[in-house]
Amino acid sequence: MLVLNEFPTADEFYKIYWGRKPFVVRGAIDAAAFEGFIDGDMLAGLSLEDEVKSRIVLSAPEGNKWTCEHGPFEEERFSTLGDKNWSLLVQNVEQYHTDTANLLKSFNFSPRWLMDDIMVSYSEAGGTVGPHTDSYHVFLVQGTGHRSWTVGDTPVVNEECIEGLDLKVLKSGVEGEAIEVTIGDVIYIPPHFAHEGKTLETAMTFSVGFLGPKMSELFAQYGHYLEQMEALDKRYAGQELNVRSAGFALAPHAQKTLRGELMNALHADSFSVWLAEYFSTSADVDEAELREDPLSSAELIARLQAGEVLYRPEHVKICTTTSQDGVRTLAVYGAVLVTTVAHDGLIEWLGQHASLSLGDVDALGNKDAVISVIAHLYNQNALFFEGDDPDH
């Protein structure tokens, strides 16, 4: 596995590494950054909650056995685990502990719209979930403690897993060089590359995962979207049929027509709008609720004029798309706002900056148009004033 001293440039990352080659970057994240991230006690606290997805994995290296328990857990469970050979894993931590989402600032070169979640693990010495593969891209960010990782050099084509376990563990293990990591080190692992981490001393690992949908999911969800939009949900009317489609024969010409209708639906501007909605939706956390104390555009301007500053937390799920005719779409947590050229400056700002003052607003073009969108984003819990609590 390649050892780098810094992240590759965005161009190098996509041309050389993305989906192709694993690598490790020494000291990629400043150790001081981890001070605001979730710790082991808070992670255990999250695993007690009903809505949080969590697992405890117990490992018995001498017997090549693993056991997986699913949360929510009782607090007493942790007092019985001992001081070795177990791991606690919690998903979507960026949504529940939003300071941890600041880790994402280090990955702006990645396709943030494809980001699934930050999964955090706390593990004691000997803790491991075994050799395995994932179907997604992942950056393994080492927090406190030390771990050893072995990563395969090529993707696994036909994986064979140990039978009788309640999690997938590769029979053949991982062929590759072991590398030790400490706080701030980052490993990138493309999909289907076998890997195994073993905890050398009490450690926390932050896994930033990028998971693409299956084609069946895309077709099903876009079909559901069209179903809700009556004007777009056209019925096949058997146009241009001929004698070759008489009886039970669905002739090639008719198949071509049906395929063309499907392609027309995919090439429509509505598809671009729907993509923004789809990729800004959080599958596991419902964040689409409106703010309890909404502001009007006038009230928002007044607060900005008073010197307050808005900011965009890193945990907020955003996606922007551009249709074939140049219309920009901004979506937050599945709520779509179709914009015009008057909002291009604001869309660019959302992707590049973390704070927004009155002076910034003045520089973004049509003030009335921009403020109306900013008010919408604020009331959608996508923007906050300093002093607001994004965890609530």
Quick one: 149 and 205 in the same domain?
Answer: yes
Residues 365 and 275 in one domain: yes
Order of all β-strands in the sheet with 335-338: 318-322, 328-332, 335-338
Does 78 share its domain with 114?
Answer: yes
Do 180 and 225 fall within a single domain? no
11 and 116 both lie in a single domain? yes
CATH of the domain at 153: 2.60.120.650
Structural domains in the chain (count): 3
Which DSSP string corresponds to 204-271?
Answer: EEEEEEE-PPPHHHHHHHHHHHHHH-TTT-PPP--TT--GGGSTT---HHHHHHHHHHHHHHHHSHHH
Residues forming beta bridges with residue 120, ordered by sequence position: 90, 206
* Residues 297 and 316 both lie in one domain: yes
Q: Are 29 and 144 contained in the same domain?
A: yes
Q: How far is CA 212 from CA 46, 67, 134, 195, in A?
A: 26, 28, 12, 20
Write the pLDDT tens digit of every residue in 61-110. 666 789 999 999 999 999 999 999 999 999 999 999 999 999 999 999 99
Question: How far is Cα 222 from Cα 199, in angstroms, rounded to an integer?
Answer: 43
CATH code of residue 289: 3.40.366.30
Query: Is 224 in the same domain as 366?
Result: yes
What's the distance, CA 33 to chain centroid?
Answer: 20
DSSP 79-94: GGS-SBSEEEEES-HH
Q: Is 152 helix (H, G, I), strand (E, B) or coil?
A: strand
Omega before 72 cis (within 30°)?
yes
Q: What contacts 297, CB < 8 A, 6 or more positions away? A: 368, 371, 372, 375
- 191 and 60 in a single domain? The answer is yes
CA dist 380 to 12, 318, 339, 365, Å?
A: 36, 12, 16, 22
Question: Containing domain of residue 258, as a range?
Answer: 234-265
- pLDDT tens by residue, 231-284: 888 899 998 898 999 999 999 999 999 999 999 999 998 999 999 999 999 766
Asked if residues 90 and 39 have their Cβ atoms less than 8 Å apart, the reply is no
Q: What is the pLDDT along the chain (392 residues), one digit of tens a residue?
A: 899 999 999 999 999 999 999 999 999 999 999 999 999 999 999 999 999 999 999 998 666 789 999 999 999 999 999 999 999 999 999 999 999 999 999 999 999 999 999 999 999 999 999 999 999 999 999 999 999 999 999 999 888 999 988 899 999 899 988 999 999 999 999 999 999 999 999 999 999 999 999 999 999 999 999 999 888 888 999 988 989 999 999 999 999 999 999 999 999 989 999 999 999 997 665 555 678 889 999 999 999 999 999 999 999 999 999 888 888 899 998 888 877 777 888 888 887 777 899 998 888 878 888 899 999 999 988 899 987 776 65
Do residues 329 and 280 both lie within one domain?
A: yes
Q: Do 204 and 287 have their domain in common?
A: no
Q: Is the separation of the CB atoms in 25 and 6 below 8 Å?
A: yes
Whole-angstrom Cα distance, residue 267 to residue 244? Answer: 29
Same domain, 227 and 244: no
Pseudo-torsion of CA 323, 324, 325, 327, nearest 10°? 10
